């Protein structure tokens, strides 16, 4: 064979390889298209087999929300006294755990320098706020006020970043202490009301904080869930009604953080996530 014939033979061989490769690619694409619906059917059959042998997972594929679940869970959480077993680092808190998660998100977003808590109980929540603030990493102080510190745990008392003040939250000396700390730790304030849950007392607390809180400060009025909102319908006027009364008198003081309030479906502070305008 001459060099010309060898060259042509080589070219023919290369062309044959290209055609064969193209045919294989076309065949592979066609096979994929043909197999796709069968794969989908196989996946559905697999799901049916899982449901048949595991009926408890049926709801994963069929459940549709009625919209009543958050309220029913709220009632269950309250009536079953789950909150009596809520602790932070072993110290009782008596709170909604979803609210506590919300608080740490607010603290991280807001970056306050001062946390003011009305209602200490055993000190678990004060310790919780201090723990979160230490992780944020900027100078801060937590002031926790209660009229009775007889149940305050020794472990909480030892926290160097928390000041425990035994006094009525509406006393003038409390307002003076907050102002002094505000000067020492300039910046935003996160305040939370969780002491006496009567309407008059909560309203007095909100009014006491009015000249202290500035634009951008955060106020949570806890336990507005009481008196049928939706738990404890026989409680009588409480925090929820205090918020209503305050807003009727000072309608422009706060903006409701509705997105934050609704984030986890239920809260113990309905209408109580407030940002100072």
Q: How far apart are CA 191 and CA 129, in angstroms?
A: 11
Mapped onto helix, strand or coil, the DSSP state of residue 225 is: coil
Query: In the prediction, which pLDDT does 26 show?
Result: 60
Residue 135 counted as domain residue: yes
User: What is the total count of domains within the chain?
Assistant: 2
87-130 pLDDT per residue, tens: 999 999 999 999 999 999 999 999 999 999 999 999 999 999 99
Cα-based torsion angle of the residue sequence 5, 7, 8, 14 in order, rounded to the nearest 10 degrees: 140
Would you state the pLDDT for residue 246? Answer: 98
**In terms of domains, do 18 and 138 share one?**
no
| Residue 11 belongs to domain spanning | 3-61
Last residue of a domain, one of 17, 42, 61: 61
Q: What is the arithmetic mean of pLDDT over 149-163?
A: 97
Share of the chain above pLDDT 70, in %: 84
Average pLDDT over residues 62-76: 87
Residue 26, judged by CB atoms within 10 A of its CB (0-12, 13-18, 19+), counts as exposed
| pLDDT tens digits for range 235-259 | 999 999 999 999 999 999 999 999 9
Q: Answer yes or no: is 66 within a domain.
A: no
| Confidence at 6, pLDDT banded by 50, 70, 90 | very low
pLDDT at res. 1: 42
Asked if 205 and 195 count as a contact pair (C-beta separation under 8 A), the reply is yes
Q: Is 43 within the bounds of a domain?
A: yes
The pTM of the full predicted model, rounded to 2 decimals, is 0.78
- Give residue 2's pLDDT: 43
Whole-number pLDDT of residue 49: 74
Residue 190 has φ and ψ, to the nearest 5°, of -110, 120
């Amino acid at each position: 064979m001459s060099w010309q014939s060898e060259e042509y033979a080589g070219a023919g061989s290369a062309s044959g390889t290209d055609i064969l490769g193209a045919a294989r690619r076309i065949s592979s694409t066609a096979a994929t298209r043909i197999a796709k619906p069968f794969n989908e059917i196989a996946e559905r059959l697999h799901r049916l087999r899982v449901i048949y042998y595991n009926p408890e997972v049926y709801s994963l594929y069929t459940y549709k929300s009625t919209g009543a679940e958050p309220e029913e869970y709220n009632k269950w959480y309250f009536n079953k006294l789950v909150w009596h077993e809520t602790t932070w680092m072993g110290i009782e808190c008596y709170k909604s755990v979803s609210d506590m998660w919300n608080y740490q998100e607010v603290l991280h977003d807001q970056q306050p320098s001062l946390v003011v808590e009305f209602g200490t109980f055993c000190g678990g929540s004060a310790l919780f706020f201090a723990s979160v603030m230490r992780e944020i990493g900027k100078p801060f102080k937590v002031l926790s006020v209660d009229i009775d510190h007889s149940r305050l745990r020794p472990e909480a008392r030892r926290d160097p970043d928390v000041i425990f003040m035994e006094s009525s939250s509406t006393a003038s000396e409390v307002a003076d202490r907050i102002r002094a700390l505000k000067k020492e730790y300039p910046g935003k304030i996160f305040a939370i009301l969780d002491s006496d849950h009567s309407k008059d007392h909560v309203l007095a607390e909100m009014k006491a904080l009015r000249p202290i809180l500035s634009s951008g400060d955060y106020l949570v009025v806890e336990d507005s869930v009481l008196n049928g909102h939706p738990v404890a319908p026989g409680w009588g006027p409480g925090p929820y009604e205090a918020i209503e009364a305050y807003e009727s008198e000072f309608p422009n003081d706060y903006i409701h953080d509705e997105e934050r309030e609704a984030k986890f479906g239920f809260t113990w502070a309905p209408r109580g996530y407030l940002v100072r305008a």
